[in-house]
Amino acid sequence: MTTYIDTALFVKSYVLEVDSPETVRLLEEMGEPFAYSHPHELEIPNAIRLKLFRGEITAAEETAAIRAFLPTWTQVASSGSITILATSSFRAEKLSAKHSGEIGCRSLDLWHVAAAL
C-alpha cells in the first residue's frame, strides 16, 4: 500500500523538532512506498525556509535541511521507495467547487487531497 504523507511530517524528518523522533519512528513503521506529489517539491523546502523566517531554525540549519532534502528525493525517486503521483488540476477544482465555499480550503491543500485520492 502507498501512504500519502503530509508535508509537515516530511519536514520533521529534515528539521529537528520536539516530536521529530516520534515522527521518524512513525514513518519507519508505515514503511515504503510513500506517495509524493508535485506540491511536495515546493512545500517541503518552502516550509523549511519559513522556519528560518520565523526564527525557529538558524540559517545553517536551513541550509543543511535543504541540502539533505534535495538529493534524498532525487535518490528516493529513482529507488522506487516513493510513488510519484500525477495530480490533475481538474480533480482539485472539483474538490474546490464542492468544499471551499463551506470549509475554506486552500488551493495547495486541495492539490494534496486530489493526489491522495
Count Cα neighbours of 84 within 13 Å in the Cβ-side half-sphere: 10
Q: How far apart are CA 24 and CA 55, in angstroms?
A: 23
Report the pLDDT value the prediction gives residue 16, as an integer from 0 to 100: 93
pLDDT mean over 38-48: 83
Provide CB contacts within 8 A for 72, sequence distance 6+.
Answer: none
57 and 24, same domain (yes or no): yes
7 and 34, same domain (yes or no): yes
State yes or no: pLDDT of 74 exceeds 60. Answer: no
65 and 100, same domain (yes or no): no
Confidence of residue 75 (pLDDT cuts 50, 70, 90): low
pTM as predicted: 0.69
52 and 104, same domain (yes or no): no
Q: What is the pLDDT of residues 5-14, one digit of tens each?
A: 888 888 998 9
| Of 87, 86, 45, 90, residue with least CA distance to 63 | 45
pLDDT mean over 68-74: 70
Overall number of domains in the chain:
2
| Of 1, 26, 29, 33, residue with least CA distance to 12 | 26
95 and 56, same domain (yes or no): no
Confidence of residue 82 (pLDDT cuts 50, 70, 90): low
CATH classification at residue 67:
3.40.50.1010
Q: Which amino acid is at 26?
A: L
95 and 80, same domain (yes or no): no
Q: Are 90 and 43 in contact (CB under 8 A)?
A: no
Q: Which domain holds residue 97?
A: 88-117
